[in-house]
Structure 1
Amino acid sequence: MSGHSHAKTVAHKKQLEAEKRGAIFSKMARLISLAAKSGSNPETNSKLRQALEEARRFNMPKENIERAIKRGAGEIEGSALEEVSYEALGPQGILLIIEGITDNKNRAMLEVKQILQKYGGKIADEGSVKWAFERKGIIIAKPNLLASPDKKTKKEENEQTPLSVNEKESLELKLIESGAEDLNWFSEEEGELLEIITKPEDLEQIKEKVEKENLKIESASLGWIAKEEMELPEKERESCVKLLEELDESDTVQNVYSNLKL
């Protein structure tokens, strides 16, 4: 598999989420409600379990979580939610897969179309974009808990402990032996993060392995990885990044995947 930019997209998204916590809680509530339609017990509903884990990582209030579960399970009233997925072409010919949750498919389509058109993009025919992507499990983890817990102060528990080259190699070997297909390290302001790519069916078992290695999981879900990335000059890339940001901020949109190299 060639390189890709999903990890940096996730990192950027998390920064936006920190700044607009109310908006992301709304998105998470939709995700939880949709998952809860298949059952309100996270022990038997893996989609709900993943949605709840994501919500708790962002400290979503317990009452918001409970209300979202009840809505999905039909215990309280609320508009019916549906998943939507669009294949699209962006500026400079970049390819996009846009996933969302909405209670009004027509409104959702119009909103996504308007954002795309603003940057010279458009909705593409079904199947004309997905061929360039592969469905994979994607885990973003932060190696901030590798030091022995009894040696850490309360303040240090939230600080990252840099890994040595040997520690990285040892960790990578363990994850590859567990079935990870690809590993990518990248740095953000908050520290170093590790992106782990898996087969869809191996996501849960590798996530458990990551947790046993005392890495903090930032996100873990199924997603789309570009088979090949498109590299653009800085000036041309600007409009593409702005499009990704605006789509990401849309209340309808849950995930955006592209073949743009960031």
Structure 2
Amino acid sequence: MSGHSKWANTKHRKGAQDAKRGKMFTKLAKEIAVAARMGGGDPEANPRLRAGIVSARAVNMPKDNIDRAIKKGVGGLEGANYEEITYEGYGPGGVAVLVDCLTDNRNRTVGEVRFFFGKSGGNLGETGCVSYMFDKKGSILVEKGAIDEEKLLELALEAGAEDMVDDGEIFQVVTAIEDFNAVREALEKAGVAFVEASLTMIPKNTVEVAEEKTAVSLMKLLDNLEDFDDVQKVHANFDIPDELMEKIS
């Protein structure tokens, strides 16, 4: 799971920068709108919408922004209709990469994603070329200091979580898809503040990237993808040694 959790930790650090906050709000608003369009505007009856709102609140997204995105999703406001697409490919060092997108222009999105892969020395592949290397799981990120580690582990396991990963500045609680909502709700009731709560793709195995040049190219690819407005989430199966990750971060 190190590939996912290390990238999640890297994104958490980036998210603390004001320059990134606007992009985070844009991505979350799109996710909330799509969730509302697909499952309705009531978060209590729409788990995906509820998870989107939780993630939005975790980064202090204004309530007006959240409400506007819900209205847009259920038809109360005009806006683009987005489709969900996942692209797959290989980055530097043979690292498998999944790119989840929400787009109103498929041609624009695939062109940009292909460009980023090529620029890094990687390549965009066919559907199914790397997705089999990942399992879909629930992921709840909790910032260290928000709760005692043993207490969080106890709460998570009692609620049905599969595992908890300690990775630097965050804890990642991992659940089966069917247990995600129950675990998230249990932690909410216990007053645990989340950095993010969402369904994600976690690698079954990881690829070690120990060469600095390769690691820099890989992180640049992931960074470029994350910064692209059409991209919602990026998943990769890398394992970069902690000391090297610290150096290039």
Aligned to 1:150: none
Q: Corresponding residue for 1:178? A: 159
Matched, 1:12 2:13: no
Counterparts of residues 29-68 of structure 1 (less than 5 Å): 29-38=29-38, 39-68=40-69
Relative to total residues, which structure has the larger helix share, 1 or 2?
2
Residues 114 and 142 from structure 1, CA distance in 2 versus in 1: closer, same or farther, beyond 3 angstroms? same
- What does 1:134-145 align with in structure 2 at a 5 Å threshold? 134-145=135-146
Q: In the TM superposition, what is the alpha-carbon distance from 1:173 to its structure 2 partner?
A: 4.2
CA contact (8 A) 1:95 1:259 kept: yes
Residue 85 of structure 1 and its aligned partner are, at CA, apart by: 0.5
Partner of residue 86, structure 1: 87
Q: Read off the aligned partner of 2:24 and give its amino acid letter.
A: I
Q: CA deviation at 1:70?
A: 1.7
Q: Quick check: 1:197 aligned with 2:174?
A: yes
Q: Which residue, 223, 226, 238 being the options, matches 2:203?
A: 226
TM-superposed deviation, 1:171: 4.3
Tell me which structure has the larger Cα radius of gyration. Answer: 1
Cα distance in 2 between the residues matched to 1:258 and 1:80? 28
Q: Is the deviation greater in 120-129 or in 14-23?
A: 14-23
Unaligned runs of 5+ in 1: 147-162
CA contact (8 A) 1:143 1:214 kept: no
**Secondary structure at the counterpart of residue 127 of structure 1:** coil
Q: Cα distance, 1:143 vs. partner?
A: 4.8
Query: Equivalents in 2 of 1:198, 1:103: separation in Å?
Result: 31
Q: Structure 1 residues 91 and 52 mapped into 2: Cα distance closer, same or farther (>3 Å)?
A: same
Instruction: Say whether residues 1:250 and 2:228 are aligned partners.
Output: yes
Residues 141 and 194 in structure 1, CA contact (< 8 A), matched pair in contact too: yes
CA-to-aligned-CA distance 1:77-101 (integer Å, 9 cap, x gap): 2121111111111112110111011
Matched letter for residue 222 of structure 2: L
Segments of 4+ in structure 1 off by > 4 A? none
SS at match of 1:256: strand
TM-score by length of 1: 0.84
Q: What is the CA–CA distance in structure 1 between the aligned matches of 2:155 and 2:73, rounded to whole Å? A: 38
Q: CA RMSD in A?
A: 1.8
Cα deviations by residue, 1:146-166 (Å, 9 ceiling, x for unpaired): 4xxxxxxxxxxxxxxxx4xxx
Q: Distance in 2 between matches of 1:24 and 1:170?
A: 30
- 1:132 counterpart = 2:140: no
Q: 1 CA distance for matches of 2:185 and 2:74?
A: 28
Say if 1:143 and 1:210 are closer, same or farther in 2 by CA, change over 3 A: farther
Paired amino acid for 1:240: L
TM-score w.r.t. length of structure 2: 0.88
Tell me, in whole angstroms, the C-alpha distance in 2 between the residues paired with 1:41 and 1:170.
Answer: 31
* Residues in 2 aligned to 1:47 and 1:214: alpha-carbon distance in whole angstroms: 20
Mean Cα displacement is larger for which, 237-246 or 18-27?
Answer: 18-27
Q: Secondary structure at the match of 2:85?
A: strand
Find the residue that maps to 1:27 and give its secondary structure.
helix
- 1:164-189 per-position Cα deviation (integer Å, ceiling 9, x unaligned): xxxx445434433432222211223x
When residues 71 and 213 of structure 1 are mapped into structure 2, their CA distance, relative to the original with a 3 A threshold, is: closer
The count of residues paired between Structure 1 and Structure 2 equals 236
